Structure 1
Amino acid sequence: MNLKAKNTTDYMNSKDGTKLYYEKSIVDNPKATIIIIHGVCEHQGRYNYVVDKLNDKNYNVYRFDYRGHGKSDGKKAHIDDFNDVIDDTDAMVNIVKADEKNTKIFILGHSFGGFIAVAYGIKHKGKVDGFIVSSPTASDEAGILELFRKGTDKNEYVPNNLANLLCSDKKVCKEYMEDVMVHKEMTIGFVQEMIKGTKWIKRNISKFNYPVVLIHGKNDQIISYLDTEYLFEQMASKDKKLKIYQGMQHELLNEVIKDRVMEDLTQWIDERV
């Protein structure tokens, strides 16, 4: 916990009334406000390091658990429609816009949270000021999603076996497996909606025109860095940057070079506030 930030927790309602948990870490005289969107099967609590670094750089941070994750309502690790988590994000954005009227707002999304971030940018024009997209679930070049999509029952659970592929810091992988808030399985329905969502993004990515920085580890075995290169090439954004980190895996924000990654990201934000 960062001592220079005031930390509070609360709940909000999504468009369909689903109750969602969120936290905010507020600093004096903030340069901007960052909204963090976590990945599938995890929760916002895994981003304490990122929040501390952002607070240190004088950014406010809001983070939330989208439906079926963390302390939020909803069937565990399940979504009926990928648009629902975009609506969850919009609920968070609306609260931030009401609370933080005098700061720019950036969305930072990792993995499936990166998918949500990009999809949000396509669907909602002009609501925020930029995006930081980390290892987004934007396609399935690595074939991981198809491995999970066996069976036809959307409510059937399949194991989450990705822990050892997260990053090169095995302490992080061990903590992930021991974290009771991390789901060790997800529904086939969730996987099907992820696949549907990635196809939707491919059809619509040329409509994304926000300032954006995309980052990916070249050794990511969960999602191929080639997917992120494709997104970068197809985005209409005039202000866009791509950074591929050699030798790094999926969770760049937990990698052994995480300090360098955060320095790169905060420098990018600093140049736009």
Structure 2
Amino acid sequence: MIPPIEWTLSGQATPLAARTWPNPDARWLAVLVHGYGEHLGRYQHVADALAGMGAMVVGADHTGHGRSGGERALIGDFEAVVSDVDAVVTAALDGHPDLPVVLVGHSMGGAIAVRYAQRFPDRIAAMVLSAPVLGVWPVLDLLEYDEIPDTPVDPSTLSRDSSVGAAYAADPLVWHGPYKRATLAALDQLLQTISFDQPLGDDLPVLWLHGDADELVDQADTRAGTDRVRGLGFEEHTYSGARHELFNEINRDEVFADIAAFTARAVKG
């Protein structure tokens, strides 16, 4: 296990809790972009796997998430979060300017990563999307209610490994309450912005990973979004029986092997 170096970053809205997993032999920089309600403390094994692929790994808890500041699970402007990701990239490249950057975005973090690629296409060399929220997401239908129902994430939808759901449910840094209206409205705006902005460049390698048993982010809903932004460098893998958190699934070794093969082809460093 590679112990992370913890540091603080001045975000657009709040101070952000950031982590770096150093690698003196790094050939590329992996930037983790986590999902809704969670935090990077759940990604130690992901960082270890990426380091084994030759990466230095970095990331920050989004505003309102994990150890970062702000009201819990509240994001009022995703463009500001994209700017926060760019601040992480900038800080990480200080002293390592030649490392190619690969965004690794999960779920809501996948949408943030795609938006980053639209805004900063010259900053990244490749992108990995794990069950990204793109296109349409039925959770946004909650905006039709005058009062948002208390429908938190069901831990059983995360993985076939029951210990993953149990750890998620017991994690005090995970948000277990209802969705915030402002967050849903901002995410709805983000998805519309992505769909109507420029597609990803044909020279950007992108790997989309999804489980066909994902009940939290349906693969068909995501495809409605990927079809609008995909370029010629777009690849996809579907895992039979896998649920939402592919990095925590029982076939995680297969998932990491696919990422390793992809980055070996995509990253020139």
Amino acid in structure 1 at the alignment position of 2:247 = L
| Contact 2:131/2:217, CA 8 A, preserved across alignment | yes
Matching of residue 193 in structure 1 with residue 207 in structure 2: no
Distance 1:119 1:208, change over 3 A: farther
Kindly state the Cα deviation for residue 146 of structure 1 after the two structures are TM-superposed.
1.5
Q: 1:236 to 1:147 in 2, by over 3 A?
A: closer
Task: Name which of 7, 10, 31 aligns with 1:10.
Answer: 7
Asked if the contact 1:158/1:187 (under 8 Å) is kept, the reply is no
Equivalent position to 1:99, from 95, 98, 105: 95
Contact map agreement 2:246 2:252 (CA 8 A) in 1: yes
Instruction: Verify the 8 A CA contact 2:134 2:226 in the aligned structure 1.
Output: no
Matches within 5 A, 1:157-196: 158-185=150-177, 186-196=179-189
In 2, are the aligned partners of 1:205 and 1:231 still within 8 Å (CA)? no
CA contact (8 A) 1:159 1:184 kept: no
Alpha-carbon distance in structure 1 between the residues aligned to 2:69 and 2:213: 34
Correspondence list, 1:78-157, <5 A: 78-141=74-137, 143-147=138-142, 150-151=145-146
After TM superposition, the structure 1 = structure 2 runs for residues 36-115 of structure 1, keeping only pairs within 5 Å, are 36-115=32-111
Any idea what the Cα deviations from partners look like across 1:55-102, whole Å, max 9, x if unmatched? 222211002101000111111100111212111111111112223212
TM-score, normalized by length of structure 2?
Answer: 0.91
RMSD after superposition: 1.9
The one of 176, 196, 200 equivalent to 1:203 is 196
How many Å apart are 1:161 and its aligned residue? 3.2
Relative to 1, partners in 2 of residues 1:245 and 1:90: Cα closer, same or farther, differing over 3 Å?
same
Aligned counterpart for 2:19 among listed residues 23, 28, 35 = 23
How many aligned positions are there?
Answer: 265
- TM-score for both structures, normalised by structure 1: 0.90
Distance, in Å, in 2 between the alignment partners of 1:172 and 1:68 is 22
Inter-partner Cα distance in structure 2 for 1:135 and 1:120: 17
8 Å CA contact retained: 2:17, 2:60: yes
Aligned counterpart for 2:208 among listed residues 205, 214, 220: 214
SS at match of 1:195: helix
For structure 2, the 5+ residue unaligned runs are: none
Is contact 2:12-2:81 (8 Å) kept? no
CA drift at 1:126: 0.4
CA contact (8 A) 1:157 1:188 kept: no
Q: 1:58 to 1:207 in 2, by over 3 A?
A: closer
